Amino acid sequence: MDCLFCEIIKGNIPSAKVYEDERCYAFRDINPQAPTHVLVVPKIHIASMDEVNGENSAYVSAIFEAIPKIAAAEGLTNGYRVISNCGEDGCQSVKHLHFHILGGRKLPENMG
């Protein structure tokens, strides 16, 4: 399996690490859309939100526990946005579940 984010998690492709624990890894997006743009991924390959189930949801809850810690460490005291693009209509480009954390400025109200 050829997965960019699995290679990043393994360290085979370099990334700017922001946070890591047993179940998740967070790093800076290579093409930031806001002053803070962090991606948080599970340390197992889950292709998208569509693949979340009772077997792997502990990885997703670990991500959601990590997000406020990451936001605090990034100084996002005035709020932020969390996004997961899924599938074709969601414009998901990397087929490994990831959550974007965007912040550091007032974000546009329109989400699609």
Residues 19-58 that bind Zn ion (CB under 5 A): 45
Residues in the chain: 112
Smallest distance from the beta carbon of 74 to Zn ion, in angstroms? 24
User: In sequence order, what are the beta bridge partners of 36?
Assistant: 103
User: What binding mask, one character per residue, do residues 25-64 give for ligand 5GP by CB under 6 A, x or -?
Assistant: --xxxxx-------x-------------------------
Q: How far is the C-alpha of 6 from the C-alpha of 25, rounded, in Å?
A: 10
92 interacts with, out of Zn ion, ligand 5GP, none, CB within 5 to 8 A per kind: ligand 5GP
Pick the piece of the chain touching Zn ion (CB under 5 A) from 11-19, 27-35, 64-72, 92-100: 92-100
Closest to 84 measured CA to CA, from 54, 43, 48: 48
